[in-house]
Structure 1
Amino acid sequence: MSANGLEFPVLEAGAGPLVLCFHGFPDHAQSWIPMLNRLATEGYWAVAPAMRGYWPGGAAPDGSYRGSATGADVVALIEALGRDQADLVGHDFGARAVYSAASVNPARVRKLVGLAVPYGPQLMTAFVANGDQQRRSWYMFFFQTRLAEVAVPLNDFAFIDRLWREWSPSYVRPDADRAALNQMFQQPGVLTQTLGYYRQLFAPPSTDPAVQALEARANGAIHAPSLYLHGVEDGCMSVDLSDGMESVFKNGLQRIVIPDVGHFLHLEKPDEVADHIVRFLKA
Structure 2
Amino acid sequence: MVNHRELTVNGIQMHIAEQGQGPLVLLLHGFPESWYSWRHQFQPLADAGFHVVAPDQRGYAGTDRPESVDDYSILHLVGDVIGLIHALGEQEAVVIGHDWGAPVAWHTALLRPDIIRGVAGLSVPPPRRAPAKPLGLLEQRFGQGFYQIYFQEPGVADAELGADLKDTFRRFLVAASGDGAGAAPVVPEGAKGFLDAMPTPEALPSWLTEADIDAFAEQYERNGFTGGLNWYRNIDRNWELTAAWADAKITPPSFYITGTKDIVRTFGAPGFLEQLPSIAPNLRGILDLEGCGHWTQQERPDEVNAALVEFVKGL
TM-score if structure 1 supplies the norm length? 0.86
1:194 and 2:200 aligned = no
Q: Pick closer, same or farther for the CA change 1:193–1:147 going to 2, 3 Å.
A: same
Q: Pick closer, same or farther for the CA change 1:57–1:21 going to 2, 3 Å.
A: closer
Aligned to 1:184: 219
Q: Quote the Cα distance in structure 2 between the aligned partners of 1:219 and 1:92.
A: 23
Contact map agreement 2:26 2:53 (CA 8 A) in 1? yes
Aligned to 1:282: 313
Aligned with residue 115 of structure 1, among 102, 118, 122: 122
Q: Secondary structure at the match of 1:8?
A: strand
Q: Secondary structure at the match of 1:106?
A: coil
> 1:97 is aligned with what amino acid?
V
Count of residues in Structure 1 that have an aligned counterpart in Structure 2? 275
> 1:35 is aligned with what amino acid?
Q
Superposition deviation, residue 48 in structure 1: 0.6
Contact map agreement 1:246 1:253 (CA 8 A) in 2? no
Aligned with residue 232 of structure 1, among 237, 260, 266: 260
Unaligned runs of 5+ in 1: 207-211
> 2:295 is aligned with what amino acid?
F
Aligned to 1:168: 177
> 2:226 is aligned with what amino acid?
T
Q: Quote the Cα distance in structure 1 between the aligned partners of 2:163 and 2:124.
A: 28
Contact map agreement 1:34 1:270 (CA 8 A) in 2? yes
What pairs up with 1:63-74 in 2 under 5 angstroms? 63-74=70-81
Higher helix share: 1
Q: Pick closer, same or farther for the CA change 1:205–1:42 going to 2, 3 Å.
A: closer
Contact map agreement 2:135 2:235 (CA 8 A) in 1? no
Q: Quote the Cα distance in structure 1 between the aligned partners of 2:224 and 2:162.
A: 12
Aligned to 2:193: none
Q: Secondary structure at the match of 2:33?
A: coil
Aligned to 2:50: 44
Aligned to 1:144: 152
User: Deviations for 1:1-30, whole angstroms, at most 9, x for unmatched residues?
Assistant: 122212211111111111110100011101
> 2:146 is aligned with what amino acid?
W
1:106 and 2:134 aligned = no
Q: Quote the Cα distance in structure 1 between the aligned partners of 2:230 and 2:17.
A: 24
Runs of 4+ in 1 over 6 A off after TM superposition: 122-127
Superposition deviation, residue 235 in structure 1: 2.2
1:34 and 2:40 aligned = yes
Q: Secondary structure at the match of 2:263?
A: coil
